[in-house]
Amino acid sequence: MAITMSIQLLPLVKNDKELYEIIDNAIEIIGSSGLKFEVNAHSTIVEGDFERLLEIVKKIKENTLKVSKRFVLNVQFDVSEKGVTIDEKTKKYR
């Protein structure tokens, strides 16, 4: 069953270059998962089953700890017994 996850990584670093490198790396982890995703200005939305989404969160956390001593990782899940997709949530606006 597909659900959607919104994930936002906020590395607490001193300069923008380092900030964007860390965020780009997190997006690469998401992209390499093979799951459908959309990058937005403040977060990335990913569609998949719950276990695979949790794996992504864990990889991003572990990878970010290697390059940032502190960060905020905001994660939200939209869960429905019938499943929920990015397309069904956004098609009205496309």
Domains in the chain: boundaries? 3-93
The pLDDT assigned to 1 comes to: 85
pLDDT along the chain (94 residues), means of 10: 96 93 98 98 97 98 96 97 93 90
- CATH number for the domain running over 3-93: 3.30.70.930
Phi, psi of 6 (to 5 degrees): -105, 130
CA distance 50 to 83: 11
What is the pLDDT, as a whole number, of residue 3?
97
Q: What is the pTM of this model?
A: 0.93
pLDDT, position 66? 96
Question: What's the token pair of residue 49?
Answer: 């089953």
